[in-house]
């Protein structure tokens, strides 16, 4: 399917190479490589600048829950721009969309997480949450609680602190990170668990890793444990059953706060607005969110914090103390108006239920690709999925990084009408929540064709 678009792809590519610095680009190829210039979009599809249509298997960057081209979103955004485009929420200033949106989100939050701090995206949400934790312990007379426990292969953002609590080894070249107070546990990846260990034993081990780390550092020195319920950018890693609940219990035992990073898993991706409690039986102290919060139409992030923590820092004795953290675009009224409309659509179209209904089909269709020789693991939940390619399925020997396997696969899926996300030897999918069974079939066929083509080229 194509559209007749009037873009000059060659000229745009030249200008891009001359002027744009892309995030996460291979710098060795930055000035020479072909670009995918996404020019138009509709429903679950995007169109490149040559008018070629592709199913958006990544939902943008795990975020376009309601799909593209929603007129009512455009109208809600335009209406807020006309009415009152911007005011900062610093100090005692507020805006109606921010107030209304915080109230609506808080209704979905588990437990008593009723207080919302709006930011500009996921990194600033996590960064702000971590700083809030610091403030909380400082103010409540426990300043030694500074240490943060996280996991290898976690991804929590691109600020100094959030990059420090992220844990992909390959992302650490040349840049500096906070290492004194940040501690990475081994990744709870059942596919790569030690030989001979059952999944239940592996869960025991992962939970013990956390407890041992807290004891090693001393509970009086540990502020929080931060965890995505499923590790998204680390390769859609689904921890062993019971892990989330049991790690929370360990945190409770030692007075360590639990931050559940739902930047990806929230807003329907796992069939719930917040997955922590309904999916993982986890009521954390703080939840971070972004991405699906506005379906990516405009930037916004937030953290939600419990009554218990918020009430502790909003007492009369706090007079003159400030949580000196905020952004010009915190609680942007246009973003909050978009968030409200996004939530209207998710509720009206029952998209969480749709994800719960279609998720098993999505997983089943892609699990069928396990019959192919280089597909080592197909894992995920609901509308989050990852294929891990291996050199040898029996030994699970990893695919050499220099094979650039994920990229090769995507180069083959694109002409077949599917855009997915390559990550080294992984291919990741997280389509818009509106995806249909027919579109899932389309995506699975395209991926199968691509894997076969790349495999044949290697033989
Ligand atoms: N937290 C998680 C779990 C994420 O996956 C991401 C981004 O992918 C972030 C935080 C950072 O969000 P942002 O890119 O909006 O800053």
Give the atom of ligand 1 at the shortest distance from the alpha carbon of 291.
15
Q: For ligand 1, say whether the CB of 228 is within 6 Å of any of its atoms.
A: yes
Q: How confident is the model at residue 413 (pLDDT cuts 50, 70, 90)?
A: very high
Residue nearest to atom 1 of ligand 1 (CA): 156
Q: What's the rounded mean pLDDT across residues 55-70?
A: 98
Q: For ligand 1, say whether the CB of 155 is within 6 Å of any of its atoms.
A: yes
Pocket probe for ligand 1: among 263, 269, 301, the residue whose CB has the most ligand atoms within 8 Å is: 263
State pLDDT tens for residues 435-447: 999 999 999 999 9
State pLDDT tens for residues 135-152: 999 999 999 999 999 999
Cα–Cα distance, 118 to 99 (Å, whole number): 11
Give the atom of ligand 1 at the shortest distance from the alpha carbon of 233.
5
Percent of the chain exceeding pLDDT 70 equals: 100
Q: What's the rounded mean pLDDT across residues 230-238?
A: 98
**Residue 168: what pLDDT?**
86
**Residue 400: what pLDDT?**
84
State pLDDT tens for residues 274-299: 999 999 999 999 999 999 999 999 99
Q: Which of 63, 52, 58, 67 is nearest to 414 (CA)?
A: 52
End-to-end CA distance of the chain: 31
Give the atom of ligand 1 at the shortest distance from the alpha carbon of 262.
3
Query: Phi-psi bin for 281: left (phi > 0), alpha (psi -120 to 50), beta?
Result: left
Percent of the chain exceeding pLDDT 90 equals: 96
Give the atom of ligand 1 at the shortest distance from the alpha carbon of 157.
11
Q: Is the pTM of this model over 0.90?
A: yes
State pLDDT tens for residues 209-229: 999 999 999 999 999 999 999
- The ipTM estimated for the assembled molecules is 0.99
Q: For ligand 1, say whether the CB of 121 is within 6 Å of any of its atoms.
A: yes
Q: How far is the CA of 264 from the centre of ligand 1 (A)?
A: 7
Q: How far is the CA of 443 from the centre of ligand 1 (A)?
A: 25
Contact 226, 259 (CB under 8 A): yes
Q: For ligand 1, say whether the CB of 290 is within 6 Å of any of its atoms.
A: yes
Q: How far is the CA of 263 from the centre of ligand 1 (A)?
A: 6
State pLDDT tens for residues 181-217: 999 999 999 999 999 999 999 999 999 999 999 999 9
**Residue 210: what pLDDT?**
98
Give the atom of ligand 1 at the shortest distance from the alpha carbon of 126.
10
Q: For ligand 1, say whether the CB of 275 is within 6 Å of any of its atoms.
A: no
State pLDDT tens for residues 334-368: 999 999 999 999 999 999 999 999 999 999 999 99
pLDDT: is 293 or 457 the higher one?
Answer: 293
Asked whether residue 5 carries a pLDDT value surpassing 80, the answer given is yes
Q: How far is the CA of 300 from the centre of ligand 1 (A)?
A: 11
Asked whether residue 171 carries a pLDDT value surpassing 90, the answer given is no
Asked whether residue 459 carries a pLDDT value surpassing 80, the answer given is no
Q: For ligand 1, say whether the CB of 232 is within 6 Å of any of its atoms.
A: yes
State pLDDT tens for residues 391-406: 999 999 988 877 889 9
Q: How far is the CA of 57 from the centre of ligand 1 (A)?
A: 18
Asked whether residue 172 carries a pLDDT value surpassing 90, the answer given is no
State pLDDT tens for residues 313-322: 999 999 999 9
Average per-residue pLDDT in the chain? 97
Q: How confident is the model at residue 1 (pLDDT cuts 50, 70, 90)?
A: confident
Residue 398 bridge partners (DSSP): 390
Residue 182 bridge partners (DSSP): 148
Q: For ligand 1, say whether the CB of 300 is within 6 Å of any of its atoms.
A: no
Asked whether residue 458 carries a pLDDT value surpassing 90, the answer given is no
Cα–Cα distance, 304 to 175 (Å, whole number): 30
**SS3 track for the chain:** CECCCCCCHHHHHHHHHHHCCCCCCCHHHCCCCCCCCEEEEEECEEEECCCEEEEECCHHHHCCCCCECCHHHHHHHHHHHHHHCCCCCCCCCCCHHHHHHHHHHHHHCCCCCCEEEEECCHHHHHHHHHHHHHHHHHHCCCCCCCEEEEECCCCCCCCHHHHHHCCCHHHHCCCCCCCCCEEEECCCCHHHCCCCCCHHHHHHHHHHHHHHHHHHHCHHHEEEEEECCCECCCCCECCCCCHHHHHHHHHHHCCCEEEEECCCCCCCCCCCCCCHHHHHCCCCCEEEECHHHCCCCCCCEEEEECHHHHHHHCCHHHCCCCCCCCCCCCCCHHHHHHHHHHHHHHHHCCHHHHHHHHHHHHHHHHHHHHHCCCEEEEEEECCEEEEEEEEECCCCEECCHHHCHHHHHHHHHCCCCEECEEECCEEEECCCCCCCHHHHHHHHHHHHHHHHHHHHHHC
Q: For ligand 1, say whether the CB of 261 is within 6 Å of any of its atoms.
A: yes
């Amino acid at each position: 399917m194509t559209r007749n678009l009037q873009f000059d792809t060659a000229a745009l590519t030249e200008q891009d190479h001359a002027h744009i610095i892309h995030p996460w680009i291979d710098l060795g190829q930055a000035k020479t490589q072909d670009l995918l210039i996404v020019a138009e979009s509709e429903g679950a599809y995007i169109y490149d600048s040559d008018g070629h249509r592709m199913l958006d298997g990544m939902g943008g960057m795990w975020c376009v829950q309601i799909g593209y081209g929603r007129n009512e979103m455009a109208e809600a955004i335009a209406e807020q721009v006309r009415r009152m485009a911007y005011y900062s929420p610093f100090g005692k200033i507020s805006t109606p969309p921010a107030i209304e949106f915080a109230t609506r989100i808080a209704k979905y939050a588990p437990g008593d997480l009723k207080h919302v701090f709006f930011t500009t995206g996921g990194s600033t949400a996590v960064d702000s949450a971590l700083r809030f934790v610091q403030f909380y312990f400082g103010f409540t007379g426990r300043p030694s609680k500074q240490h943060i426990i996280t996991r290898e292969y976690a991804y929590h953002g691109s600020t100094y602190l959030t990059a420090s609590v992220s844990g992909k080894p390959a992302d650490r070249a040349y840049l500096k990170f906070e290492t004194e107070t940040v501690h990475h546990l081994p990744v709870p990846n059942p596919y790569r668990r030690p030989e001979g260990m059952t999944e239940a034993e592996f869960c025991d081990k992962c939970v013990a890793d956390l407890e041992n780390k807290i004891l090693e550092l001393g509970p009086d020195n540990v502020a929080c444990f931060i965890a995505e319920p499923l590790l998204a950018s680390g390769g859609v890693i689904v921890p062993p059953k019971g892990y989330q609940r049991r790690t929370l219990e360990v945190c409770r035992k030692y007075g360590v706060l639990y931050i559940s990073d739902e930047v990806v898993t929230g807003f329907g991706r796992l069939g719930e607005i917040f997955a922590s409690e309904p999916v993982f039986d986890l009521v954390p102290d703080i939840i971070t969110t972004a991405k699906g919060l506005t379906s990516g139409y405009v930037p916004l992030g937030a953290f939600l914090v419990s009554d218990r923590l918020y009430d502790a820092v909003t007492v009369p004795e706090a007079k003159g103390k400030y949580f000196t953290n905020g952004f010009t675009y915190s609680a942007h009224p246009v973003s909050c108006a978009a968030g409200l409309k996004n939530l209207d659509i998710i509720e009206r179209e029952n998209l969480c239920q749709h994800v719960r209904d279609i998720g098993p089909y999505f997983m089943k269709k892609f699990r069928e690709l396990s019959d192919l020789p280089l597909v080592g693991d197909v894992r995920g939940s609901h509308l989050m999925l990852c294929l891990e390619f291996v050199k040898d399925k029996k030994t699970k020997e990893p695919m050499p990084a220099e094979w650039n396997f994920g990229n090769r696969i995507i180069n083959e899926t694109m002409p077949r009408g599917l855009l997915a996300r390559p990550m080294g030897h992984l291919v990741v999918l997280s389509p818009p929540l509106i995806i249909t069974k027919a579109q899932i079939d389309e995506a699975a066929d395209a991926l199968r064709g691509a894997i076969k083509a790349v495999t044949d080229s290697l033989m």
